[in-house]
Amino acid sequence: PIDVYYTSKVALEHLTRIVAASMAEQAGRRYEPGLKCIALDPGWLRTRLGGQGAPLSVEQGAAEVVWVLEHSDAIPSGAVVSGRQVVSTDEAGRSSKPD
């Protein structure tokens, strides 16, 4: 059977790349030059959706958002970030963990 959750993550990764490419192509016209599109997986959070068995608090998930913002200069546009690492990259194949 098809894993719907996995399939949705692949679709999100692809959409992130498409938006990043469009933003780069239209920089200076429609988008501010240097603007990036980065997808973030904050982890499994204790929310109504995640349930009480999830290992991370909402505050820990928010800290992941702040971390990505603080390190966005080192993260390529089109990347997917999870666990403070770039886990997916743009078509150029760039992948690294920002300092």
Task: Say what the pLDDT of residue 77 is.
Answer: 94
Categorize the per-residue pLDDT at 94 as very low, low, confident or very high, splitting at 50, 70 and 90. very low
What b-and-e string marks burial along 28-60, b requiring 16 or more CB atoms within 10 Å of the CB?
A: eeebeeeebbbbbebbebbeeeeeeebebeeee
| Spatial contact of 20 and 90, defined as CB atoms under 8 Å apart | yes
Task: Say what the pLDDT of residue 6 is.
Answer: 84
More confident residue, 47 or 93: 47
pTM to 2 decimal places: 0.80
Among 48-52, 76-80, 85-89, where is mean pLDDT lowest?
A: 85-89
Mean pLDDT across 46-66 = 97
Mean pLDDT across 39-47 = 95
Q: Is the pLDDT of residue 17 over 50?
A: yes
Q: Is the pLDDT of residue 95 over 80?
A: no
